[in-house]
Chains A and B, each alone.
Chain A
């Protein structure tokens, strides 16, 4: 409540300052910049963010103010950590504190370097395996006039986070081997011919060959490595780990990839930040509802074998207009009707003519109990959607069963004929009794 109020105030301030707004979760950004890096060296990136509507606050890694979390309420919506060489941080930027910040749904953009720092140790907690200290990514291809550590990397065209057609980007820094964590969102991978090795003498190449002969164990080489990797926590806070801070700098942004072709660094950096700061691929559930097939209002409970309709309204954040818009583009949304196990799992299909509404009609299972409508949509890169609605399913009431079934008529006839027989028997018995008493009287 407090946080949302704070976010509202901040976003109102942001709106007052600039009408062109970006993030769905707030526009205040804390930039932790190590003293050796100057703001002017990243002017294209930071100005690009400010142009989008973000308000940037700068802070050195060892400063104590401004604080990140006050009274358990985060004061910033996003944090950029451009302190790849810093070995000691203020108390509230320690790795544990950063995890706590993530739990408050504050997004992080973290730059690493070949040096070993607290941040590179934290990367291991996100299933990113860094090479030993002092081993940056190297590539001797394509032949170029730069050092082997400054590598042009082609931007993948099929990544939903990145703008298609972005020119190759210059990269210099440390690669990461990706663990099997499903929460990882690889954004940029190392070129196939690159490897991590000791820069000075290029002697690490021997180690690479050795490792390759051992079946790739301990090998930091090839396109399986990531250089910029996202991570989305289970409650949809986002972290981006970039292997080098130069990727975001003006020097690489202005450096030409080929003669006359500017590098894609500016575009790539802003795309990456857009994903990390909840501009891109952000979904939310507006409303869920359920009712009987021929009714419109929800029931408090349903009867077994009822025909139930479940619908859900989903919006996607549109950063260009700073507005949520109904989104019908999900093709693999599913509904589970669950009591411990999903008894029904069915597709939620977009309703034609109703933007953002997905609906499923299904028959309740022939089993009573406390069920849940569960929508659990987890896709790499997208906000995780989860909705659970509890509803009891009861057996029919005593008068809710079908009656006078044709199959049961022999039994009805049997019971009726027994009763009729009993009545006739009693009547005849009594009639005969009279006669008999008369007879007995006569005989007496």
Chain B
């Protein structure tokens, strides 16, 4: 987790300097993301990316190699999906642009919810892992 977090800002700064010369839509989007997203959200996004990659890898392994201990696949895959959902909801709750939507939920409260949800999730995941 340290890797993406450390590299993201570096990349951001390097690309922001050279972005004015290439006006394609993706690059514009990428530049806007880098410029206008809070570092905390970028940190969450890097975790989400890791979860997506992990889940995709497990699914590919299941399809191409074996789904034999199916409970293991289910729990491994469900842990990435569940963690993704919890992290995504944390992201939406701590996003300052959504402050009006979550008036009652402070960022600390959101993080506490996230931690409790994750602990419960991992409890079930390791129970089911076999």
A residues lining the B interface (CB < 8 Å): 401, 403, 405, 407-408, 410-415, 417-419, 421-422, 424-426, 428-429, 432-433, 436
Given A411-B77, A414-B55; 9 other pairs, CB 8 A cutoff = A405-B72, A411-B129, A412-B76, A414-B79, A418-B83, A422-B83, A425-B47, A426-B115, A429-B40
Given contacts A411-B58, A417-B54, A429-B111, contact A405 B76 (CB under 8 A): no
Of B2, B68, B79, B83, which is within 8 A of A405 by CB? B68
Within 8 Å CB of B69, what residues of A? 405, 407-408, 411
* Set of chain A residues within 8 Å of B115, measured between Cβ atoms: 426
Number of A-B contacts (CB under 8 A): 87
Assess the A419–B130 pair: CB atoms within 8 A. no
Query: Which chain B residue has the least Cβ–Cβ distance from A409?
Result: B72
- Which residue of the partner chain B has the closest CB to A405? B69
Are B75 and A415 in touch, CB under 8 angstroms? yes
Residues of B in contact with A (beta carbons under 8 Å apart): 1-2, 5, 39-40, 43, 47, 50-51, 54-55, 57-58, 61, 65-66, 68-69, 72-73, 75-77, 79-80, 83, 87, 111, 115, 118, 122, 125-126, 129-130
Provide the bound-state CA to CA distance between A397 and B113, in Å: 36
Q: Pick the residue among A407, A410, A422, A426 that contacts B58 (CB under 8 A).
A: A410
| Contacting residues, chain B, for A425 (C-beta < 8 A) | 1, 43, 47, 87
Which residues does chain A contribute within 8 Å of B126, judged by CB atoms? Answer: 415, 419
Bound Cα distance from A421 to B84, whole angstroms: 11
Picked from A415, A424, A426, A428, the residue with its CB within 8 Å of the CB of B76 is A415
Measured CA separation A407–B54 after assembly (Å): 17
Top 5 A-B pairs, shortest CB-CB distance: A411-B76, A414-B76, A408-B72, A411-B72, A424-B1
Instruction: Count chain B CB atoms within 10 A of each CB in A403, A411, A421 and give the residue with the most.
Output: A411
- Asked if residues B130 and A415 are in contact (CB atoms below 8 Å), the reply is no
With a cutoff of 8 Å between Cβ atoms, the chain A residues found around residue B39 in the complex are 432
Residue of B nearest to A414 (CB): B76
Q: In the complex, what distance in Å separates the CA atom of A35 from the CA atom of B111? A: 112
Return chain B residues, CB-CB under 8 Å to A411.
58, 61, 69, 72-73, 75-77, 129
Instruction: State which of A413, A415, A421, A433 has its C-beta within 8 Å of the C-beta of B1.
Output: A421
